[in-house]
Amino acid sequence: MSTIDIEGLEMRFGVFTALKDISVSVKEGEFVTLLGPSGCGKTTLLKLISGFLTPTNGSIKIANKDVTLTPPEHRDTALCFQSYALFPHLTIGDNIEFGLKQQKISKPERGRRLAEMAGQLALDAQLDKLPNQLSGGQQQRVALGRALIMRPGVILFDEPLSNLDAKLRDSVRVEIRRIQRENNLTAVYVTHDQSEALAMSDRVMVLNGGVIEQCAPPEELYNAPATSFVADFIGGANIMEVEVTGETEPGVYKLNTPLGVLISKSGRVPPGKRIRACWRPESVKLGELSVNTFTAKVTDRQFQGSYTDLHVDVNGHSCGLKTPNPNIFPGENIDCGLDPSDVILLEAI
């Protein structure tokens, strides 16, 4: 059972606290992504799980065994980096086998595992080549093979796709996920790319300033962000300060907002009457609704192909909209509506 259980983890570098009170459990075979802006503590958390750092406080269990003070080589983890870190003078085959040799695994067993790995990663024809004779995508697969051949229970990825171009990134993404599923590996994956996190993960842990803002499946992060930070970081949002003036029926709230009075059916109302609320640029309905309507003046327009981004002004409050209609231009007034379930309540101010 390659589970990961992290409890009350804290990491200080001198007086600077890089991670604060991190608690999370990762199930066997689960793919969890650490997502957040530069400096939020993603790599530090990965290094703590792999054993390259020791926490100031808190504990880490892998497969129910406390490994907080266990060195990396004695943890059931393998690490896959962004800079593939292949040995340039060793063949692809020798690179992949490297860890097995270190562990003094017999030659026939190494041969069997290498053949199996090369097959899984479509690297059979490359085994006698040197790393510089391979493309970036192939080198990334070698790095993956080198980690997977150790048959770890837990695989840790540190921005493994950041050296690849956009097209290759998509295909390696799919491949990483396929191999992780086929081998039922527990995976922790670091990225600062929100679309990568949403596309790949069972759950995404959003970190900001060393604390967890929210850890949830991608759909939940998008549809029910817990904080303004998550709402804005995942997909972008129009965030406004509102006043809750009443509950018209259970779970349905009346709000005073910069756009006028709006009804919200989405969220938990935290204690306190002044809160933040948000709505997604793409959830606006143009001229379709009879509730939650407001008039917006278009101030800017950016055609994006399948949709158009509009910047609008509503009562002096600027908002962003996305619409499939390409025929709306600056200076026009448009009638907008929001479904009450698309007005999402966030935290108290």
**Binding region for ligand ATP (CB under 6 A):** 13, 16, 18, 36, 38-44, 192
- Least CB distance to ligand ATP at residue 45 (A): 7
- Least CB distance to ligand ATP at residue 158 (A): 8
Which C-beta is closer to ligand ATP: that of 120 or that of 208?
A: 208
Helix ranges (H only) for the chain are 42-50, 92-102, 107-120, 136-148, 166-182, 194-200, 218-223, 228-233
Beta bridge partners of 285: 337
What are the tokens at 1? 């059972």
Which C-beta is closer to ligand ATP: that of 43 or that of 293?
A: 43
Phi, psi at 32, each rounded to 5°: -115, 130
What is the C-alpha to C-alpha distance for residues 62 and 179, in angstroms, rounded to an integer? 21
Which C-beta is closer to ligand ATP: that of 41 or that of 93?
A: 41
- Least CB distance to ligand ATP at residue 17 (A): 9
**Residue 235 Rama label (left phi>0; alpha psi -120 to 50; beta):** left
Which C-beta is closer to ligand ATP: that of 13 or that of 87?
A: 13
- Least CB distance to ligand ATP at residue 117 (A): 28
Task: Please say whether the beta carbons of 274 and 349 come within 8 A.
Answer: yes
Torsion angle of the four alpha carbons 129, 133, 137, 140, in this order, in degrees rounded to the nearest 10: 60
Which C-beta is closer to ligand ATP: that of 13 or that of 329?
A: 13
- Least CB distance to ligand ATP at residue 34 (A): 8
Amino acid occupying residue 114: L
Which C-beta is closer to ligand ATP: that of 197 or that of 346?
A: 197
- Least CB distance to ligand ATP at residue 161 (A): 13
User: For residue 10, with 0-12 CB atoms within 10 Å meaning exposed, 13-18 middle and 19 or more buried, which class applies?
Assistant: middle
